[in-house]
Amino acid sequence: MKKIIFVAGARPNFMKIAPLLRALKHSAAVRPVIVHTGQHYDTNMSAAFFSDLDINQPHYNLEVGSGTHAEQTAAIMTRFEKVCLAEKPAMVVVVGDVNSTIAAGLVAKKCGVCLAHVEAGLRSRDLAMPEEINRMATDAITDLFFTTEPEAKRNLLAEGHADAKIHFVGNVMIDNLLYQLDKVKKRPSSGTAKTIKKLLPAKYLCLTLHRPSNVDNRETFTGIVTALAKASASAPIVFPCHPRTRAKIAAFGLSGKFIESGKTDRKLTSGICLLGPLGYNDFLYLWKDAAAVVTDSGGLQEETTALTIPCITIRNNTERPITVSAGSNVLAGIDPGRIMALIEKVLAGTWKKSSVPKLWDGKASERIAKILIKN
């Protein structure tokens, strides 16, 4: 039986390994070993995802926690090397573009283990993004590439990788989304998300923001929040907030621009309602019915595209261009006027109907599983 290590570390990784593990659950050919690096560790950033997404508890939790990029990457490498040497896997599978992805990839390759990268080949061409460095460096040493959109293959070929190693399989994020959507429809959320939804009108927006380029600079972050606060006069905005963003709201004295979710039971007809981070299903329960999602996340650009929900992305570029050509995603940058104009367009109902990209059909993991078994 072939032993394959699946590595996940940060919030967006968990939904990518979940469908892969499901696809291999009954395989007699592969024995999966799950390694959680511990890059994310708060319950709602980590454990909640394991239970929501039906992932077995990890065989290893490296518990690296937070730190500078060098500290975090180095800690993952040192601890993951011990696992690789002990387990002697036939293959290591990494997903996405977080620090855990490149750290585990480097270790696997230097231990002489075949490295597979799920969501390979995406490029924003913005080297100020730590994720872009992680993507490029991971793909430089990857043996088996799994891609989500045609542009990714073009990028990999242009970087000199062999066609035979690149497999256009579709999008595992969407496998997970469709699986969870079904669950959420059958068994709706019971916690904070349900309480908040009861207070919302038919037209509301969901917001996520956590990218250092948006939230670490006082002027930029204040500009974005001010624009959103104005726009929220027309429709309320629900904002499950990443811990790093929560810290910046306090540091920049912006708390007055938000309504704390715990402190309101009145109908939310306007304003930005601030929540702690939510588990996957709780957040899905909220955004699946939103008029639009405003975000700087990579994954949500894809998930909104799959459900043809308008997505206003607070970035100047995207490594996921198919979400823009499909028509669901628009890059708003950080210009307050543009952000407001796009929100108005959504609320006026003039956003054009979008399409769903090829192979975003919920079966990407099955395609990957077949290739993993064969290689």
Residues that bind ligand UD1 (CB under 6 A): 10-12, 39-42, 45-46, 66, 98-99, 130-131, 210, 242-244
Looking at the Cβ atoms of 41 and 168, the one nearer to ligand UD1 is: 41
Mark 250-283 as b/e (b = at least 16 C-beta within 10 Å). Answer: eebebeebbbebeeeeeebebbbbbbbbbbbbbb
| CA count, 13 A, side-chain hemisphere, 224 | 27
CA-to-CA distance for 312 and 340, rounded, in angstroms? 10
- Partnered with residue 32 across adjacent β-strands are 4
Antiparallel, parallel or unpaired: β 258-260 and 311-313: unpaired
Looking at the Cβ atoms of 122 and 231, the one nearer to ligand UD1 is: 122
Cβ 127 to ligand UD1 shortest distance, Å: 13
Q: Which two tokens stand for residue 147?
A: 């891609």
- Partnered with residue 329 across adjacent β-strands are 311
Q: Which residue of the set 40, 117, 161, 210 is catalytic?
A: 210
**By C-alpha distance, which of 108, 102, 324, 77 is closest to 119?**
102
Active site residue 210: yes
Cβ 25 to ligand UD1 shortest distance, Å: 26
CA-to-CA distance for 375 and 371, rounded, in angstroms? 6
For 31, residues 6+ apart whose C-beta sits below 8 A from its C-beta are: 1, 2, 3, 4
Q: Which two tokens stand for residue 7?
A: 């590595």
Cβ–Cβ contacts within 10 Å for residue 374, how many?
7
**By C-alpha distance, which of 278, 203, 297 is closest to 239?**
278
Q: Which two tokens stand for residue 142?
A: 């990857």
Looking at the Cβ atoms of 207 and 268, the one nearer to ligand UD1 is: 207
Looking at the Cβ atoms of 236 and 298, the one nearer to ligand UD1 is: 298
Cα 86 versus chain centre, distance = 30
**By C-alpha distance, which of 102, 21, 114, 2 is closest to 59?**
21
Looking at the Cβ atoms of 98 and 290, the one nearer to ligand UD1 is: 98
Spatial contact of 284 and 197, defined as CB atoms under 8 Å apart: no
Looking at the Cβ atoms of 232 and 305, the one nearer to ligand UD1 is: 305
Q: Which two tokens stand for residue 79?
A: 């601890």
CA-to-CA distance for 36 and 207, rounded, in angstroms? 27
Looking at the Cβ atoms of 242 and 367, the one nearer to ligand UD1 is: 242
Active site residues: 210
